[in-house]
Amino acid sequence: MPEPTASPRLPRLVLLGKQGAGKGTQAVRLAEHYGIPHLSTGDMFREAAAAGTPLGLDAKGFMDRGFLVPDDIVIGVVEEQLAGDRAAKGFVLDGFPRTRHQAEELDRILGPNQLDLAIDLDVPTEVVLHRIAGRRVCANCGAVYHLDNPPEHDWTCDVCGGKVEQRDDDTEDAVMRRLELYEMKTLPVIQYYRRSGILAHVDASDEPDEVFKRLAELVDSYFDPGARAL
């Protein structure tokens, strides 16, 4: 565990964890709570695919089969998002880095504004399988729901009124491949941040509110709560 800091800066965070661990769910809450951008590579590719851009259609071919999008494409997209002094203002990254090479490249992109915490959301595999099987997302804004926690009105998004549906890559085959790739490619990222001394684990198997409370307590213990954008 890293040493606490009294820095007044806004946090620079990475959320790690298996597919369905709740990275997207919690990243949205952390971004709102701390007033920092939520950068999700999965959402960026889904938006690009929905817009029919060459990048999005290329990425969709990999995503729908449960494969990782090639490193050079993903790194280029993240570099664009964090260009200039944007990284200095804090962020929560969700779904990136996912390979050791991406983690090394993130360090390069961040330069003097290095990460504060890489938080691994711990959830048993049987729990994530249930979560993914029941996940439904808004096709318009990406808001995440579950069969156990649906929107208020007949699968219409509470946030924007868009259509709420199953993700194209939440098929059984694609999910099993994504979980295998997580073991092969993303566990080394956890090891990478352990060695860097910025890794923290949070039990994310409980209800979303409880998990968020744990995350905010963890982040607050490293950052001056007065720095929070209210």
**Known catalytic residues?**
23, 98, 135, 167, 178
Shortest Cβ contact with ligand AP5: which residue?
A: 42
Our CB check for ligand AP5 shows the closer of 93 and 223 to be: 93
Q: Considering the complex, what minimum distance in angstroms separates the CB of residue 227 from ligand AP5?
A: 26
Q: What are the residues binding ligand AP5 (CB under 6 A)?
A: 17, 19-25, 41-42, 45, 62-63, 66-69, 74, 95-96, 98, 102, 131-132, 134-135, 144-146, 149, 169, 178, 204, 207-208, 211
At a CB cut-off of 8 Å and minimum separation 6, what does 100 contact? 185, 188, 189, 192
**Strand ordering across the sheet containing 199-203:** 38-40, 91-94, 12-16, 117-122, 199-203
Q: Considering the complex, what minimum distance in angstroms separates the CB of residue 173 from ligand AP5?
A: 12
Our CB check for ligand AP5 shows the closer of 9 and 151 to be: 151
At a CB cut-off of 8 Å and minimum separation 6, what does 186 contact? 16, 98, 99
Contact 11, 110 (CB under 8 A): no
Identity of residue 44: M
Our CB check for ligand AP5 shows the closer of 215 and 223 to be: 215
Q: Considering the complex, what minimum distance in angstroms separates the CB of residue 21 from ligand AP5?
A: 4
Our CB check for ligand AP5 shows the closer of 9 and 58 to be: 58
Nearest to 64 by CA among 169, 155, 135: 169
